[in-house]
């Protein structure tokens, strides 16, 4: 609020008739400060869909934006060449099976001859070696068949998780490969979403202390309500300015501060059962910081002169005194005062154009709620001045626990 000549003292103050003006008795309370951080939304699971085998894209079973279930067919790579490789591997397997059978028969024929000393034992050892070679060759052929089947199965690309299909840059007939720079598509599970955001180092220190205090409270049961802290849950404002209906929780913090920006990255998790949020969206993350035992005054009770802020305070004799104050922040329609005022001081809230410094006024305190009075007399425990005037408690103080 701008000054209106109230800093000029009148020469004949005693001749001025005493006027009545509304006043406010300074009190301490809890200030709730909402800090905003720009966030980027990602699905809890983001899977790049890439082909495991090279070939022409034969079929596309889904469209961009479709929701698919885990295991559902997505794409088909032309399987002809891989089918031929499988057929060849199976044929080699059959050959090796036949060779193994021949080696077994020969081994069974040689054993009795060696036993009867018809042929030398050396011949038996060679036959046994041929049998072992045949077994190894069959195992190698069977491995080739298994590999060919795997590649054959890879020609059908299935959904590894349930989620939404992203953009599909490839079209039927395009050559696809595991070495492609970009995936065929990205599959995103958005039943829960992550919102990534950054905060300054100073804010992060406050946040870290708040988490530590909360952990100690849960561990020891010690009351930490008198300490300043961040609210453990966060809210999200969408790009269109509307509020997301569910709260999130900050559950991950980056390991180090970015040296270039002096900021640290954090992650908040939000439920997304209604599928309102999608990967790639942006939003504003709102985190509430609680500051307790702050000196709070209404913003309309202040005056500005150049770069300084003042209030008109009443001294013990009821005269106005210009008081320089230092504002440390704001909470709603109130200022937090770091110096210049203390609890119990009385300041004028309006009518500055009617007074000058050193003028004596009749202070009018706001009326107290009916629940705080008994037959028109202030109830015990209400901090009201004499004469029936009542004291307004700062809104943030009324909201505190």
When the pLDDT of each residue in the chain is averaged and rounded to a whole number, the result is: 82
pLDDT of residue 373: 39
pLDDT level of residue 120 (50, 70, 90 thresholds): confident
Options 2.40.30.170, 3.30.70.370, 3.30.70.1230, 3.40.50.2000; CATH for 34-44+188-290 is 2.40.30.170
Residues of the chain with CATH 2.40.420.20: 13-30+292-399
Instruction: Give the residue among 391, 390, 393, 364 at the shortest CA–CA distance from 377.
Output: 390
Residues 119, 107 contacting (CB under 8 angstroms): no
pLDDT tens by residue, 240-285: 999 999 999 888 888 788 888 888 999 999 999 888 888 888 999 9
pLDDT tens by residue, 207-231: 777 777 666 666 666 555 544 556 6
What percentage of the chain exceeds 70 in pLDDT? 82
Instruction: Give the residue among 162, 228, 215 at the shortest CA–CA distance from 192.
Output: 162
pTM: 0.59
pLDDT of residue 10: 47
Average pLDDT, integer, range 394-398? 38
pLDDT level of residue 56 (50, 70, 90 thresholds): very high
**Rounded CA gap, 66 and 74, in Å?**
10
Options 2.60.120.1570, 3.40.50.300, 2.40.50.100, 2.120.10.10; CATH for 51-77+155-182 is 2.40.50.100
Fold of 13-30+292-399: 2.40.420
Residues of the chain with CATH 2.40.30.170: 34-44+188-290
Range with the poorest average pLDDT among 111-115, 234-238, 295-299: 111-115
pLDDT tens by residue, 159-210: 998 889 999 999 999 999 999 999 999 998 888 899 999 988 888 887 777 7
**Rounded CA gap, 392 and 382, in Å?**
10
Q: Thinking of the domain 79-154, which architecture would CATH place it in? A: Orthogonal Bundle (1.10)
pLDDT tens by residue, 280-330: 889 999 988 777 788 989 999 999 888 899 999 998 888 899 999 998 888
Which comes out higher in pLDDT, residue 338 or 289? 338
pLDDT of residue 187: 92
What percentage of the chain exceeds 90 in pLDDT? 44
């Amino acid at each position: 609020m701008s000054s209106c000549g109230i800093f000029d003292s009148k020469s004949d103050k005693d001749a001025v008739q005493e006027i009545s003006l509304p006043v406010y008795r300074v009190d301490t309370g809890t200030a709730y400060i909402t800090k905003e951080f720009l966030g980027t939304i990602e699905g809890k699971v983001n899977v790049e869909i890439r082909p495991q085998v090279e070939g022409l894209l034969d079929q596309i079973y889904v469209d961009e934006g479709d929701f698919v279930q885990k295991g559902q067919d997505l794409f088909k790579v032309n399987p002809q060449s891989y089918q031929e490789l499988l057929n060849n591997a199976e044929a080699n397997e059959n050959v090796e099976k036949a060779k193994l059978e021949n080696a077994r028969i020969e081994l069974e024929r040689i054993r009795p001859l060696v036993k009867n000393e018809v042929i030398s034992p050396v011949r038996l050892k060679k036959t046994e070696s041929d049998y072992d070679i045949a077994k190894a060759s069959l195992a190698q052929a069977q491995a080739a068949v298994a590999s060919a089947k795997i590649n054959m199965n890879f020609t059908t690309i299935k959904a590894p998780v349930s989620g939404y299909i992203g953009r599909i840059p490839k079209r039927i007939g395009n050559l696809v490969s595991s070495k492609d720079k970009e995936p065929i598509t990205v599959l995103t599970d958005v039943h829960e979403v992550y919102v990534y955001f950054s905060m300054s180092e100073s804010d992060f220190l406050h946040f870290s202390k708040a988490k530590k205090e909360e952990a100690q409270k849960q561990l020891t049961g010690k009351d930490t309500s008198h300490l300043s802290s961040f609210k453990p849950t966060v809210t999200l404002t969408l790009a269109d300015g509307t509020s997301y209906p569910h709260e999130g929780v900050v559950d991950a913090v980056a390991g180090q501060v970015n040296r270039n920006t002096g900021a640290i990255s954090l992650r908040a998790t939000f439920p997304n059962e209604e599928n309102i949020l999608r990967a790639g969206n942006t939003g504003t993350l709102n985190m509430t910081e609680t500051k307790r035992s702050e000196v709070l005054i209404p913003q309309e009770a202040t005056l500005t002169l150049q770069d300084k802020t003042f209030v008109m305070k009443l001294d013990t004799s009821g005269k106005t005194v210009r008081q320089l104050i230092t504002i440390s922040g704001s909470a709603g329609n109130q200022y937090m005062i770091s110096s210049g005022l203390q609890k119990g001081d009385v300041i004028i809230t309006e009518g500055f154009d009617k007074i000058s410094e050193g003028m004596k006024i009749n202070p009018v305190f706001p009326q107290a709620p009916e629940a705080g009075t008994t037959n028109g007399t202030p109830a015990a425990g209400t901090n009201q001045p004499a004469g029936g005037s009542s004291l307004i408690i700062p809104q943030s103080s009324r909201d505190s626990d």
